[in-house]
Every structure is written in C-alpha cells, then in structure tokens.
Amino acid sequence: MASGGMGDGGSSRGVGRSQHQENVEYLYASLKQVYKKAFLPLEEYYSFPDFFSPTMSDNDIDAKPFVLLLGQYSVGKTSFINHLLGDRPQGYPGSNVGPEPTTDRFMAIMHGKEDRVLPGNAVAVSPGKPFRGLQIFGNAFLQKFQCAEMRSEILESMTLIDTPGVLSGEKQRIGRNYDMSNVCKWFAERSDLILILFDAHKLDISDELKTVIEGLRGHDDKIRIVLNKADQVNPQQLMRVYGALMWSLGKVFKTPEVTRVYISSFWRREYAAAGAQSQILFDREKDDLFRDLRDIPKNAAVRRVNELVKRARTAKVHSLVCACLRKMMPAMFGKEKKQKELLANLEIIFQAVAQEHGISPGDFPDAEIYREKLIRWTGTGRNLSSLPKLNKELVKRLDDCLANDIPALLRPLAMGNEGNEWERESMNMIQQYDQPAHSSAFDVSTQDQNEDALAWASLARQAAGKSDEDGDVSWEGVKSLHRPAKHHQPSQGGHFDREQPGGARGKLQAS
C-alpha cells in the first residue's frame, strides 16, 4: 500500500521552541536592519529594481520557505500537494483535480485559522504576506493568482506554490495574458525548493516548459525532479521511462551534474498492479522526498542569507558596470554613437570591470539579457550618461557587511551556541550602521570558532570580493582587452590576474 503523506503526522515542527528558533528570529531581525542600511541604499542609487528584482521588504526576508511545484497539466501537482497536507477529501481550499488542465491559476497555500481563498489583488497589497513584488506583473496576472489558507502543521513552517499546467503548441500562445516564464522566475528566486513533476506517460517537454526551466538558471541547486504515477508501469518499462526522462532533461539542463529524481506515486491509493513489484522502491523514494521537505525549515535561515549574499554580489557588479559605462560616455558630442558602441561591446566592459576591481567573471549577469535591459532603460528618454557615478562609500559599506557582519550573524547557527551573547553583539552591529562612519562590530577572525563556524565565515568572505579604487578607464584601454593576447587570461582560482605585467590593468588608462 502506498505510504501516507507528511500531513499533520509528518511533525515538521520539531520539539517546542528551541534556542535554534530564537537564534533564527534574531538573525532575521538583524538581516532586515543590515539590508536597509547596507544593501538598500546601493540598490536605490543604481536603480537595481529596473534591471533585476524589486527591493525587498521585511516580509520578503522573514517569510516562510517557499516550495514551488511546476509541470505540465495533469501530472499530479495538486494531488501531490493534497497528499502532503494529509489527503483531505475536499483538498486544499480552491483546489480542483482532474485529467484535464484544472488549475488555471497560481495558488499560494499558506497556514491560516480557517479555510478561505483570498483574491490576488488583495494578497499583493497585504502587509503581512510576501507577495507585494507580484504587482509588477499587473492586473492580468493578479486575476490569475490566489492565496488559499487552511490549518495544517506543515504549512506552519513553509508555503506551497501550486502553478497552472504548462501548455504546449498553439495553446501557450493564446492561453496566457501574462509572462509565465517571468512569473515562475520570480517565485523561483524566493523558493527554497523547486519540484518539477513529470507523468510516467507524459515525458515530453513542451516549448513553454523548456522556457520556464531555462528561466530557472542560477537556481539549479534548488531543483528536484519528481517522476509521478510511476506505479502505472512495470519495472522494465519504468527503467526505460527513467532513461527517456533523463535524456529529455539533458537537452534542457546545461549542467554536468545530474538532478535528483524521485520516483513514486504521490497519493494515498493502492499501488497499481503493474508497479506492485516496485513498492519498496516507491516507498523509499517517497520517504526521501518527505525527509528533504521536513529539512527545509531547518536550513531556511542559511539559505536566506545565501540569497542575500548572491543579491549583494549582483548589486555590486551592477554598480561597477554602471559607473564604467557612464565614465566612457562623451561629455558633449557623439553620445548616441558611443552608446551603441558600448552596448555592442558589453562583454568587453565586463572584462574591464572584472580586472579593474578583482571581480570573478562568474558574478556578472548574462551579457545579452543585461544588454536588453540597458536598451529598454535607455529607451525612456535617458542615455548611458544618466547612469550614476561610482559611489565608493556605498560599495565599501556593502563589502564590509559581506566580509564581517554576515559571517558574524551566521556564527550561532553554525556553532549551536546559546545565542544571548550573539544577540547583544548583533544589536551592537546594527547600531554601528547608524554612525556616520561605518565600522564592523566584529572581527570574526579573533573569535574562538569551531570548524563549522569558520566554514560559514569563509563562505561569506568568498562572496564579498574586494572593493578597489574608482575604475576610471578609457574606451581605448577597454577595447585592448578584446585583442587575442595573453593579457586577460584568468589566474588560478577563477579571478583575473590584476597584477600581471602588460595585462588589462596596465592598459586601462586613467581618464
């Protein structure tokens, strides 16, 4: 017999209010202050939301972990959620299950005191819910978004996101009045786990599903594959189905790592006769997936810090690129011609910024996407001369935060300390941001740390990078990077060698 779901018996809550939970709450409170004092000023100064994601609110930082479910229609996404929630006969509020495309909207399933369904426009402006950023997709999308609230122990520690079945062929062009891929990307950025479901009898990847999956690039560590309804085939057929699925995924995922695949049937029914011989396999796979889901709340705080560090690195690169583009624009004549030249050679600009400021090439966004955003930004009556100058103070404040304060905040989670001393130190750190000259409240290298804490500190330090002097460069110096010579070969460790004689740094001329 198929094993039951997590439900209320899954006990994702843990035992009582632990010291770890208190540490997590203090971490979230500190991260809110850190973001407002070190991250937000730089994002606003360089119009970060116009190029990447909207600024974060308090609810975005301390929101419960998201679990996003994607897949084509009738692969069992809604049935999977109902199974997790205990297989209530009526399902979660607003749910509908059937062989046809039944879920025609995005549904956020959250914990609530009573069963109810809230409309999207009301949810997007609700101060207590982390969905304000969805307003950028307009009323056409918000009419296809709802929030279902119900009592469930598992929902006390996470939020489940049910999505419409991905369409194929002509239906995907006429059936959506919003950008499905960008909406999924918005949820993916905020999710701790992304489950892509496939039916054992429906392994094809439509054009829209391929576009959605490609939009998840950069979140590969969150993605898991679920081969659902596996009991409908016998073991020999299952082996072939699994091989065909991996072949299809290999054409979409451009990574050498193999994505974890869970094989089972996620509902409270007897396994079909065809898959009865694989019952032990199905039960173990189901237990593995439920174990991963139960571990999400434990790792949510660390993942939230990880996402903030990624955001900070992106914001820093964006600020340096903007400053470089502005510096290369002429003061008076020929602006339009120079702007076209700079946009066409954006990859060379990235190389120049990487060498001048010691930034890893892997921190830069996709040049083609970034070029499109710059073109759209300049299409509103502005040109690259309108970009802000390099603000060394804001960049240094962000660097100091990543190098010192973030590792210090992570220390109690890594060490398992009582946290009282850490709470006082955190408050001291927050007060430091209110001083005219920012200085770090900690020197983590002087702390008595164990091996795990050092690992956390190393993780955040590697994310920080080093701020350099103002990158005042000339266009001729930057174009020299494009010459096929040894001057801009990456050094060992992935960074460009800034001290290499005759390298790009030597060719960059101060303006």
DSSP H or E run through 108: strand 106-111
- The arrangement of strands across the sheet holding 145-150 comes to 116-119, 145-150, 106-111, 159-162, 66-71, 191-199, 223-228, 261-263
pLDDT digits 0-9 by tens, 179-189? 888 899 999 98
| Residue that has been written with the tokens 């301390």 in this structure | 62
| Residue that has been written with the tokens 């900070």 in this structure | 312
247: alpha, beta or left, given left = phi > 0 and alpha = psi -120 to 50? Answer: alpha
Lowest mean pLDDT among 8-12, 27-31, 38-42, 404-408: 8-12
DSSP H or E run through 469: none
Percent of the chain with pLDDT over 70: 73
Type of residue found at 228: N
**Residue 428 burial class via C-beta count within 10 angstroms: exposed 0-12, middle 13-18, buried 19 and up:** exposed
Helix (H, G, I), strand (E, B), or coil: what is residue 392? helix
Please name which of 340, 424, 356, 431 lies closest in space to residue 390, comparing C-alpha atoms.
356
**Which pLDDT score is estimated for 150?**
93
Average pLDDT estimate for 277-284: 91
Mean pLDDT (the chain, rounded): 77
* pLDDT at residue 145 greater than cutoff 80: yes
pLDDT digits 0-9 by tens, 48-70? 999 988 888 888 888 899 999 99
- The residue among 341 and 425 whose pLDDT is bigger is 341
**Which pLDDT score is estimated for 266?**
87
DSSP H or E run through 269: none
* pLDDT at residue 479 greater than cutoff 90: no
Lowest mean pLDDT among 62-71, 324-333, 368-377, 451-460: 451-460
pTM of the model: 0.73
Dist. CA 85–CA 87, nearest whole Å: 6
Average pLDDT estimate for 240-254: 87
* pLDDT at residue 144 greater than cutoff 50: yes
**Which pLDDT score is estimated for 236?**
92
* pLDDT at residue 456 greater than cutoff 70: no
- The residue among 177 and 402 whose pLDDT is bigger is 402
Dist. CA 403–CA 222, nearest whole Å: 25
